[in-house]
C-alpha cells in the first residue's frame, strides 16, 4: 500500500481468498481478514491525513497553494482508483466523495 500498487494488492487478496476456498484452513481466513483490516486502516489514515492538512490550510490565514490543491486532487484520484478493491473491502472502502 505504501507504493499504491493496487494490482499487486488485488493479486495477493485474490490468492488468499482462493487458498482459503481450496484448503478451508482457518489461518488463511484469518490472514485474509487481517489483510483487509490493515488495508482499510491504511486507506482511512491516509485520507484522514489529507483531509486534516487540507482543512488546516483552509482555516489558516495562509493562502491555498497550488501544491495543496494537487495533493488533495491526487488523494481523490487515488480513492477513485482503489475502488477496484471493493470486491474485497466492501463497506470498509472509502468512496471518493468522502474527501
Domain ranges of the chain: 6-98
pLDDT tens-digit profile of 63-89? 888 998 898 899 899 889 888 888 888
Q: Between 26-59 and 66-81, two packed helices, what is the crossing angle to 10 degrees?
A: 160
Q: Model-level pTM?
A: 0.79
pLDDT value of position 27: 94
CA distance 32 to 36: 6
Amino acid at each position: 500500500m505504501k507504493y499504491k500498487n493496487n494490482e499487486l494488492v488485488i493479486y495477493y487478496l485474490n490468492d488468499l481468498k482462493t487458498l482459503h476456498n481450496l484448503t478451508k484452513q482457518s489461518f488463511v481466513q484469518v490472514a485474509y481478514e487481517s489483510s483487509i483490516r490493515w488495508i482499510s486502516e491504511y486507506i482511512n489514515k491516509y485520507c484522514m491525513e489529507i483531509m486534516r492538512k487540507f482543512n488546516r490550510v483552509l482555516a489558516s490565514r495562509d493562502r491555498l497553494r497550488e501544491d495543496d490543491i494537487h495533493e488533495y486532487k491526487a488523494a481523490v484520484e487515488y480513492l477513485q482508483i482503489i475502488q477496484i478493491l471493493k470486491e474485497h473491502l466492501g463497506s470498509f472502502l472509502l468512496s471518493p466523495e468522502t474527501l
